[in-house]
Structure 1
């Protein structure tokens, strides 16, 4: 990739102070973009801004609050003079509230999972579309899905609320892509494989991943695995693509090893 793929682009990343979002922010800055990253933790916001340099601003905020994304977009316009793209990464599971298989699922965890993964995304996408329309310009939106939204695993990933939300991300994104294509607003989805984190400390999972995500020797998805695709969808090289779902899952979607 040329380092100028995102030259003169100003991008907001919701959930951009840690993990997938922060990795993407670094890649986008390296490719010439100015970015505003949003996160809930003030310390992470400070660390992100210091690490990203003068082409970045960090804003503390909760993506499930109605004004957070709009405030981030307005900050982007004030600081960098434009708003060209939104990357929504923020999400999470409702496990601490009782998420799991349907027969054990609590209403609190169901609502929490939908709030974290779907309501927050609707709010950020709405703010982006309203801004693009108000500026009478096109732009690009990239949403975070999951391989579990379209290729579930029966034994180890029975978080039905999370899978529902990530599946809905695809339907929502395709729907708004169809509606706003005439306005040159593009909407696409990245669907990563399983990422190793504090919730993946499971011996069965560590056995399953090399058999499902078989590329590169068989491993968990890493944050940087999504960086190139995120840069592509934020760039003009993807200007004729909308309503697409790109799985970055090491082969999970095409392997047949779903359970033990």
Structure 2
């Protein structure tokens, strides 16, 4: 297999579980070195053991200002350089009080935006500062959601989450335009509904089978995004910036 990421040193914020960990395995398989960042120390240990010598794991909270900066510094110390950032960290804010607007709490709003948007701003800022400081280009890949531009109120009415993920698109395009002259490219992946324990509901499963109709109708899997992530982190995408790739199993094409 061609090593698309040979000599690439990549930081994955939210890289010890789920989408991020799946991508980390793909990056290593394609010859890359990875720093994976996660909140849970046990997940960090497991990730580092499974990924092997081409990886290091760092415990950290993505919403804290120094987390991404320290991960990038670790990447440079361990592997000699820093070439790319993949920001995956984020998630549902329902436990904070996110939901339909008439039920949305202020805490739900602020915590969900911090988790999904502020964390991303901080990691992107640290990456851009590092690239500029080193006098080199690089690549940033951010995570949004197909729910941003094709919402479905029946099962997925979490308005703070939708706001945060929509803002990822505008933020990414804006910084992509600003830093293109510096050869820093910023792109976005937008998956639809990924398989998770909270989606284990018969009604949701039936809906997804009719909405995401590829491969017989199913939830997305973390590995479904790996090929796109490898592309954007590699030099194969060196003339691509400010783009949004939807990986949705047909979500945008059907009524469900």
Q: What TM-score bracket applies, with the shorter chain setting the length?
A: over 0.9
- What SS class does the counterpart of residue 241 from structure 2 fall into? coil
Structure 1: tracts of 5 or more residues without a match: none
Question: Any idea what the Cα deviations from partners look like across 1:32-86, whole Å, max 9, x if unmatched?
Answer: 0000000000000000000000000000000000000000000000000000000
1:1-260 paired onto structure 2 within 5 Å:
2-257=1-256
Distance in structure 2 (CA, Å) of the matches to 1:140 and 1:97: 32
Q: CA deviation at 1:256?
A: 2.4
- What SS class does the counterpart of residue 77 from structure 1 fall into? helix
Runs of 4+ in 1 over 2 A off after TM superposition: none
Could you tell me the TM-score, scaled by structure 1's length?
Answer: 0.97
Question: Any idea what the Cα deviations from partners look like across 1:134-161, whole Å, max 9, x if unmatched?
Answer: 0010000000111111110021100011
Distance in structure 2 (CA, Å) of the matches to 1:7 and 1:210: 38
Q: Tell me the matched-pair count.
A: 256
- What SS class does the counterpart of residue 53 from structure 1 fall into? helix
- What SS class does the counterpart of residue 16 from structure 1 fall into? coil
Segment drifting more, 142-151 vs 81-90? 142-151
Structure 2: tracts of 5 or more residues without a match: none
Distance in structure 2 (CA, Å) of the matches to 1:204 and 1:12: 37
Q: CA deviation at 1:203?
A: 2.0
Q: CA deviation at 1:195?
A: 1.0
Contact preservation (8 Å) 2:96, 2:112:
no
- What SS class does the counterpart of residue 102 from structure 2 fall into? helix
Contact preservation (8 Å) 1:3, 1:30:
no
CA RMSD of aligned residues (A): 0.7
Could you tell me the TM-score, scaled by structure 2's length?
Answer: 0.99
